[in-house]
């Protein structure tokens, strides 16, 4: 069985700030994302267990929304062209200890809440920075996603995440097996006096149990890189 790990690391042409997020074409933002991707890739090479091949999509996109939409199409086409498992990772995630994902889940998976935790029609709104498409996914799950993708709105920043949540929650996964925060531990931003304590409580998971950390680059690419680089140095993956 072929295992793929997929990232997108591409230039964005959008020159204006949109959705209260830095302009993708800003040189410093682009450089920060490129550096985060390098750290993410190196951390996967060190800690992600099993045999797998990496794929990186690098062609320039007009906007983040167009990039997300194209990612949907490309992942779906890759999954359907051969029997395979696909782990898609955003550039702003870092593995911090040995991690098993391949062949551990038989359904489409996301692993932890987004921020806010409740949004749109979802009581539990999950973050799509780490998502797993096993070969055993049901065609019905893909169809749920396609039904949403057919009406893709570039006016909603996280429409991609809406698509993924509709797919995820359409599946019959037992209550005790739905939430794996250690596989997408959210480094949520807060002005809380004890930030780490707040983050541990927010994730319902102590960082000492985390395997993958999501640095939330959309809330400040350079700030997220500044969080990832010391971790990378400590783990000897720079």
Taken in order of first residue, the domains within the chain and their CATH numbers are 2-234 (3.90.550)
Measuring CA to CA, how many Å separate 74 from each of 10, 79, 216?
14, 9, 23
Chain length of the chain:
238
Look up residue 236 and give its two tokens: 């000897």
pLDDT at 217: 86
159: left (phi over 0), alpha (psi -120 to 50) or beta: alpha
φ, ψ dihedrals at 144, nearest 5°: -60, -45
The pTM of this model reads 0.97
pLDDT value, residue 192: 76
Res. 25 pLDDT band, cuts 50 70 90: confident
Q: Which residue has the tokens 């889940």?
A: 105
Q: How large is the greatest C-alpha to C-alpha distance in the chain, in angstroms?
A: 50
**Does the CA dihedral 187-192-196-199 come out positive or negative?**
negative
Alpha carbon dihedral 61, 185, 233, 40, in 10-degree steps, equals -30
| pLDDT tens track for 172-227 | 999 999 999 999 999 998 777 799 999 999 999 999 999 999 999 888 899 999 99
Separation of first and last alpha carbons in the chain: 30
What is the Cα–Cα distance from 81 to 144, expressed in whole angstroms?
19
Per residue in 138-184, pLDDT (tens digit) is: 999 999 999 999 999 999 999 999 999 999 999 999 999 999 999 99
Residue 73 pLDDT more than 90?
yes
DSSP 53-85: EEEEE---BSSHHHHHHHHHHHHHHHHHHSSEE
């Amino acid at each position: 069985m072929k295992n793929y790990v997929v990232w997108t690391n591409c230039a964005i042409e959008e020159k204006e700030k949109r959705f209260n997020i830095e302009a993708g074409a800003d040189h410093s933002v682009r450089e920060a994302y490129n550096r985060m991707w390098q750290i993410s890739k190196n951390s996967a090479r060190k800690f992600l267990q099993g045999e797998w091949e990496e794929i990186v999509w690098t062609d320039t996109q007009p906007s983040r929304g167009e990039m997300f939409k194209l990612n949907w199409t490309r992942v779906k086409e890759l999954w359907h062209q051969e029997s395979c498992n696909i782990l898609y990772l955003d550039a702003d995630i870092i593995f911090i200890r040995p991690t098993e994902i391949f062949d551990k889940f038989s359904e489409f998976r996301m692993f932890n809440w987004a921020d806010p935790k409740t949004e749109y029609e979802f009581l539990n709104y999950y973050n799509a920075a780490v998502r797993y498409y096993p070969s055993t996914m049901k065609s019905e799950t893909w169809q749920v996603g396609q039904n949403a993708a057919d009406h893709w709105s570039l006016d909603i920043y996280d429409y991609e995440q809406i698509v993924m949540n509709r797919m995820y929650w359409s599946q019959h996964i037992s209550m005790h097996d739905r939430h794996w925060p250690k596989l997408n531990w959210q480094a949520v931003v807060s002005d809380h006096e004890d930030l780490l304590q707040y983050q541990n409580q927010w994730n319902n998971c102590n960082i000492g149990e985390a395997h993958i950390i999501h640095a939330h680059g959309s809330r400040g690419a350079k700030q997220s890189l500044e969080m990832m680089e010391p971790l990378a140095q400590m783990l000897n993956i720079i």
